[in-house]
C-alpha cells in the first residue's frame, strides 16, 4: 500500500500534439527522456513517444542511452552532455550520438569508431552563451571540417542550448535572440565551408513556446511533454500523479498531544491519518505542515514532520475517510508538482525527477 506514480499517457499524447501543431509536420521531434524521463520511466515513455511521432530521443548520460538500447530502443539517441573519453567504446558499440565540441574528443571518437570498424555519428555543439558546453561559434566551421575529414565519422547535426528561452523578461528574451543570431552565423559558416550541417536543432520546451525562429530542423521538448509550460497560451497537461493510501487512523482526544505534530495538543477530538509515503519516495521534507493532500476529492493538511516512508494528515472529526482510501499527493485535477514545488521554492522538474524507487502504473 505504498506510494506509486500513475502516468497518464493520454496527457503526454496531448502535449506531443501541441508541440507537433506548433512546429509543423516537416520538423522532427527529439523527446528528452533524461533523468528516467523526468521520473516517468525512460523505457515506457520512450516507446510511447516513438509510437506517437517522435523520431529521436535524448538522454543526459551514456548509461541512460545504454539503458534504452538494452530495452530494445533502436532509434537515434542523442547524448546531450559530452561524455568522458573512456565511454567512447560504449558509445560506438551502442550506436549513441554524442554532442562534441573540441578537436581532441573528435579525434578520440574517430579512433574508437575505427577500432570497431564502424562509422560514428556526431553532432557538433555550439556554445552561444550558456558557457556550459560547446565550441565558440567562430570555431564551428573548422571543427565540422575536422569531423568530416575522418572516414569513421559523420556529421549528423549541429546544436545549441537556449538557456533562458522560457523567460519573457525583455533582457533574457534579447539574450535568447542573440544566441539564435550567433547560432545561425555558426551554421552558415559550416555551409559556406561546403559542409552539410545535418540536422540543425536548438529549441527546448521554452523555445518551442516562445521563439518560433528557433525551430530549425528538429526540436527537443522536455518538461513541456511531462505537463509543465511557461505559457498560458500553450498550457500542457500534467502527466504524473503521485498517489498513496491511508494505512492507519488514530483518534486524538481533545487536549491530548500528538507527537507527529511536535506535541501539539488539539482543542477538539481529531482523527489523524497515516499515509504510506515520505521523503524516500520523493516528497520534500520541507512540505511538513505546509501542504494539503486530497482524499475522496477533499484537501486535508499534512501535520507534523514528513518521515522517510510516511506522513500524517489531520482528517478532523467526521471526514468519513477509511483505511485503504487513496491519497493524491499531486496530479492532474488536483494540485500539481508546480504547486507542490512552490511550497518549497523549487521547480516542478525537480519534484517529478525526484520520484524514484516506486512502482509506476501507465494509463491510457
The residue ranges of every structural domain in the chain are 9-226, 240-363
Cell of 60: 543526459
Do domains 9-226 and 240-363 share one topology? The answer is: no
Q: How far lies 328's CA from each of 26, 34, 186, 296, 300, in Å?
A: 40, 25, 49, 9, 10
Residue 193 burial by CB count (10 A; 0-12/13-18/19+): exposed, middle or buried?
A: middle
Please provide residue 294's backbone torsions phi and psi, each rounded to the nearest 5 degrees: -115, 130
CATH number belonging to domain 9-226: 3.20.20.10
pLDDT of residue 264: 59
Q: Do 352 and 6 contact (CB within 8 A), yes or no?
A: no
| Domain 240-363 fold | Lyase, Ornithine Decarboxylase; Chain A, domain 1 (2.40.37)
Distance CA 280, CA 176 (A): 38
Successive 10-residue mean pLDDT values, the chain, 364 residues: 93 98 98 98 98 98 98 98 94 98 97 97 95 92 98 98 92 95 98 98 97 98 96 94 96 71 64 95 93 96 93 92 97 95 96 94 96
Distance CA 167, CA 231 (A): 9
pLDDT of residue 356: 87
Distance CA 355, CA 19 (A): 25
Residue 154 burial by CB count (10 A; 0-12/13-18/19+): exposed, middle or buried?
A: middle
pLDDT of residue 262: 52
Amino acid at each position: 500500500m505504498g506510494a506509486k506514480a500513475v502516468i497518464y499517457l493520454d496527457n503526454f499524447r496531448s502535449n506531443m500534439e501541441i508541440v507537433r501543431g506548433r512546429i509543423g509536420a516537416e520538423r522532427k521531434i527529439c523527446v528528452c527522456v533524461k533523468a528516467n524521463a523526468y521520473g516517468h520511466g525512460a523505457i515506457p515513455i520512450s516507446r510511447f513517444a516513438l509510437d506517437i511521432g517522435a523520431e529521436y530521443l535524448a538522454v543526459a548520460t551514456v548509461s541512460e542511452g545504454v539503458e534504452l538500447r538494452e530495452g530494445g530502443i533502436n532509434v537515434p539517441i542523442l547524448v546531450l552532455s559530452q561524455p568522458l573519453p573512456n565511454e567512447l567504446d560504449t558509445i560506438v558499440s551502442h550506436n549513441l550520438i554524442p554532442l562534441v565540441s573540441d578537436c581532441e574528443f573528435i579525434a578520440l571518437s574517430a579512433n574508437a569508431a575505427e577500432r570497431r570498424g564502424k562509422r560514428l555519428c556526431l553532432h557538433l555543439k555550439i556554445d552561444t552563451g550558456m558557457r556550459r558546453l560547446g565550441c565558440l561559434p567562430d570555431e564551428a566551421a573548422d571543427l565540422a571540417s575536422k569531423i568530416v575529414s575522418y572516414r569513421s565519422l559523420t556529421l549528423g547535426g549541429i546544436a545549441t542550448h537556449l538557456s533562458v528561452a522560457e523567460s519573457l523578461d525583455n533582457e533574457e528574451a534579447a539574450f535568447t535572440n542573440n544566441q539564435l543570431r550567433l547560432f545561425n552565423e555558426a551554421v552558415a559558416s559550416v555551409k559556406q565551408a561546403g559542409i552539410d550541417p545535418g540536422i540543425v536543432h536548438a529549441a527546448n520546451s521554452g523555445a518551442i513556446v516562445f521563439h518560433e525562429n528557433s525551430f530549425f530542423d528538429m526540436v527537443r521538448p522536455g518538461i513541456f511533454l511531462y505537463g509543465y509550460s511557461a505559457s498560458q497560451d500553450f498550457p500542457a497537461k500534467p502527466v504524473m500523479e503521485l498517489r498513496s493510501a491511508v494505512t492507519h487512523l488514530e483518534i486524538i482526544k481533545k487536549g491530548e498531544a500528538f507527537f507527529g505534530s511536535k506535541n501539539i495538543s488539539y482543542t477538539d477530538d481529531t482523527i489523524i491519518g497515516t499515509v504510506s509515503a515520505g521523503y524516500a519516495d520523493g516528497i520534500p521534507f520541507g512540505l511538513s505542515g505546509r501542504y494539503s493532500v486530497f482524499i475522496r476529492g477533499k484537501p486535508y493538511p499534512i501535520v507534523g514532520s514528513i518521515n522517510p516512508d510516511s506522513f500524517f494528515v489531520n482528517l478532523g472529526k467526521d471526514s468519513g475517510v477509511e483505511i485503504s482510501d487513496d491519497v493524491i499527493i499531486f496530479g492532474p485535477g488536483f494540485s500539481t508538482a508546480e504547486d507542490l514545488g512552490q511550497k518549497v521554492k523549487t521547480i516542478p522538474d525537480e519534484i517529478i525527477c525526484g520520484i524514484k524507487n516506486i512502482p509506476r502504473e501507465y494509463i491510457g
